[in-house]
Chain A
Amino acid sequence: MAPVMIDVDQLRVRFGDNEVVKGVSFQVPSGGSFGIVGESGSGKSTVLRAMSGLNSAWTGRIAINGQSLGARRDRAFFRTVQMVFQDPYGSLHPRQTIDRILSEPLLVHGISDIERRIEKALAEVALPSTARFRYPHQLSGGQRQRVAIARALISEPETLLLDEPTSALDVSVQAEILNLLADLRERRHLTYILVSHNLAVVTHLCPQVGVMIGGEMVEQLSADDLRSGQTMHPHTAELRALSVDLEEVP
Chain B
Amino acid sequence: MLVDIQNLRIAFESRSGIFEAVRGVSLHIGTEKLGIVGESGSGKSLTARALMRLLPTNARVTADRMAFDGIDILNADEKAMLRIRGKRAGFILQDPKYSLNPVMTIGRQVTEAWKTHKGGGRKEAREAVIDLLAQVRIRDPHRVYDLYPHEVSGGMGQRIMIAMMLAPDPQLLIADEPTSALDATVQAEILRLMEDLVSRRGMGLLLISHDLPLVSHFCDRVAVMYAGRIVEELSAGSLAQAQHPYTRGLLNCLPSLIHPKSRLPVLNRDEAWLQS
Contact = CB atoms under 8 A, between A and B. Distances in A.
A and B touch in the complex (CB under 8 A): yes
Interface of A: 39-40, 141, 170-176, 178-179, 182, 197-201, 203-204, 223, 226-227, 238-240, 242-247, 249-250
Which 3 A-B pairs give the minimum distances between C-beta atoms?
A175-B253, A204-B255, A39-B183
B33 to A, nearest CB: 14
A200 B239 contact: no
B240 A249 contact: yes
Contact of A172 (B185, B216, B266): B266
A240 B216 CA distance: 19
Contacts of B251: 249
Contacts of A243: 184, 257
Interface in B37-61: 39-40
Interface of B: 39-40, 154, 183-185, 188, 210-214, 216-217, 236-240, 249-251, 253-261, 263-267
Given A247-B213, A249-B239, A250-B237, A171 B250 contact: yes
15 contacts: A39-B185, A170-B40, A171-B210, A171-B211, A172-B39, A175-B253, A175-B265, A178-B264, A179-B264, A199-B257, A200-B255, A245-B188, A247-B213, A249-B213, A249-B251
Given A40-B183, A170-B40, A247 B256 contact: yes
Contact of B257 (A175, A179, A240, A249): A240
Given A39-B184, A171-B250, A239-B184, A204 B210 contact: no
Nearest to A38: B183
A227 B257 contact: yes
B261 A174 contact: no
Contacts of B253: 171-172, 174-175
